[in-house]
Structure 1
């Protein structure tokens, strides 16, 4: 049975409102609602921008947060009820120990082209950097681990749980910075954060306080009222990162968190990730900035042509991250083009 959650206790009329289900969005998708104001007494409300100003609208939760959601005109359950059910189960049981992320013989093909070829990967608490050339399968692996796609074969577990039966609980403990960022383009920076907080069980005041802290640290306070589609790439990336950090997840999956980020903000992000790691959060990130990886990673995994080719700790390795990386993917061969010479 499909499930659609509404942050309001109100079911919109199908003739006035259209609910969209986006299977690829990493969080949830706001409903494209009509212009009539919707009133509700529910304590959990989300801001939705419209031409007439800031109006409270219903929100449909889609595959990004709950992968089995489908459009519906009924309310089958509530966020609060799912939160209560999640408490009854426990992630990271003694049986699984420190195997926070457990990927077993995972494969993935696109158009019959193999992208992941039997990935076996166990990630323990700390900061694990996933490296590889373009097309090595890094982003695809993160999509499998975040539940946005299923492996063609093999299995994926987060805290000992699989997405098929425990998607809600996993996502409440998971923070994701996806390749496509997953912003709500018609919302401002601050509204993006205020929209996502209640989905993870935060109150409005908790969301506002945490959002203010993150926006200040990431130098987004001045631009907090800028609509996402009008933001620079760096502002968009930092907004998406703030959304991933807002609920202080147990597991963080970050696709290129330092790409397009200014040096000052990069230093702040390094500090935040280190602080989260010391507090018990397990972090798996991809990056092409080897100097940053050398500095912050407690473990490095290098993918090459869809396979794990190296798995080591930078603190104990005889060679640096850059040396190991180029020994696997090949040394760069700079060559000046003849027509560049003149």
Structure 2
């Protein structure tokens, strides 16, 4: 409470000015160091995620930070160390299984390395929108960017990467310009077709993903090539949009073809629609028609029947993305080329020999 002095001027309670000054100054690294009983250099190492700090000391420093409400100044740290410890992630959609699980893995492994991610959604997959996302990178404090894309829109002639920002691309054919990390789409498709042919099916029908999807293109090409290598006829492709609804529509067409005994579907969601369509048309899986999917989503084993599918290791894709982009940050050397993550076929109850086989 204020009071008047002898000359009528208002006086503040003793210590009020010091308290106000303390609030203005905020908590410094030196304050944390004094409370924790360590050097300011040790506090700096803890705040930047430096590995060379013993666990007990790190916990002691973190406890002091929490008690004092200390938050490291990222801008000052960037000036001192030459990096923001932030990775930008550009992606078109979070609705697909692959994108959401890959993003989750990127965020997890980035955090383990002491980095955070800044998400930059693009929306509709157009060159203009992608260009706008890269332009925004110049306004953000990021050291690197990971592009999760399903179309090859990364046109080097129109997309300008901000100076010093390193790039890794997921699911693309841009390996001649950037480092690409991808699932081995072609080998996964080959495993699916080999499995069905090995069961005795004369040929394999295919429900493909969208035409503009690089992953869909790779899977369809490997399906066709594998059939040709075995001298088998290549049925007409049925195309969907990754959704169960589009798989259902394709499945209705397939159910009406008595020659169709085996189907390779480009993802598990569409495979779910195919299973429902076959059931609705009285075609039993796998007695009449065998079905193989792609992705091995968490619920694939709960389908009726449990779905045989190609397993994608999204966690490994995310880990390798972070590893590759941080390697470029550390060395300052841009990388090109493609890293492929292996797939494996998970055999469940939706595949069997053909009728009479």
**What is the TM-score with the length of structure 1 in the denominator?**
0.28
Higher RCO (CA-CA < 8 Å; seq separation 6+)? 1
**What is the TM-score with the length of structure 2 in the denominator?**
0.27
More helix by share: 2
